[in-house]
Amino acid sequence: MANIALLNRCNLRCPYCFANDYIENEGEDITVDTFSELLDFVAPDPSLGIIGGEPLLHKDFDKIMSIAQDDFRFNRITVFTNGIFVDKHLSALINRKTTVLINVNSKGDIGKDNFERLDNNISALMQAGIKANIDIGINVYKREQDFSDLLYIIKKYGFRKIRVSVVIPRDKSLGGINYFMEMKPTLLSLYKELLKLNVSPCYDCNAIPECVYTNEERELLNSLPFANDFEREIFLGKRSVCSPVIDIYPDKTATRCFGCYDMERVSIKDFDNLFDLKNYFFMKIDARLVHNYSCEECKDCYKHKIFGCFGGCLCYK
């Protein structure tokens, strides 16, 4: 999958966002012509992500979505949004190819008014009859995080699946495993609430290795109503690896993914297509960093040696 960033601006300043130094620190918004050009480059992959900043801030968002939706080469388009401006682009988002992934922030992080707009916009999408095309996600970023606003949204609209991201901290000195251990009590509190509501979780990225959990905790995880066995294995840490998800920016440069955007950035003009670019990042970043270990305990781990576990995101390395 490839993500195309429409702009670098955002209406929020979320306390956990690792891209805050990117937001407002780059060039102009993408043009419609450049967007069409980038579609040709990423077209070998039928899945497309639309990101920002906050992509719904783009003045030509509706036109851009129409171009992508009318392109027969893509069968799934995911718009990553904070949900606050959905009401301004409702018609552009109601499309069989399009999934709206809304990151649900709490009132404490975005304010009561913004949360009410987010709530109302989910309601508007539901009333449009596209519940199957609405996903919600949560960023877990601090100890003892309050999930009451998220749980309110889940209960109100009857969501049965949620994307969970364990936020990559700006200070990576703890390493992946130690950071996960620190965040584990908060994560388990969320999973227990999801179990009560019969809600299936899945990882957006930054999958947690199975060694982080005790046998008893793994039993709790295994009791969650996962959508399929593949997601169950990822959540249980049996597949704690990832592959490049390319992010492409308005200036036609690209990174392996947002989590690794400060490691290596290249111009797409030096590559024939998306697959060549993915292979480049795999060889330049993945193949090198996978040999490193996140903490001393990983050094002699069999799963680490056979590349069955990254010990969390590659950015920790």
State the first-to-last Cα distance of the chain, in angstroms, to the nearest integer: 23
DSSP one-letter string for 60-95: THHHHHHHHHT-TT-SEEEEEE-STTGGGGHHHH--
Q: What is the pLDDT of residue 121?
A: 97
Q: Evaluate if residue 133 carries a pLDDT over 80.
A: yes
Domains observed in the chain: 2-316 (3.20.20.70)
Q: What is the pLDDT of residue 24?
A: 58
pLDDT tens digits, one per residue of 225-281: 998 898 898 888 887 778 889 999 999 999 999 888 888 999 999 999 999 999 999
How many Å is the maximal CA-CA distance in the chain? 54
Nearest to 101 by CA among 161, 20, 28: 161
In this structure, what DSSP letter does residue 130 have? -
Q: What is the pLDDT of residue 227?
A: 86
Q: What is the pLDDT of residue 25?
A: 62
Nearest to 296 by CA among 311, 309, 285: 311
Average pLDDT, the chain: 91
Q: Evaluate if residue 22 carries a pLDDT over 70.
A: no
Q: What is the pLDDT of residue 239?
A: 76
* Interval 289-307 mean pLDDT: 82
Least confident of 108-112, 143-147, 156-160, 225-229: 225-229
Helix (H) or strand (E) holding 233: helix 229-235
* Interval 143-158 mean pLDDT: 97
Helix (H) or strand (E) holding 122: helix 112-127
Q: Evaluate if residue 172 carries a pLDDT over 80.
A: no
Q: What is the pLDDT of residue 114?
A: 97
Q: Which amino acid is at 97?
A: K
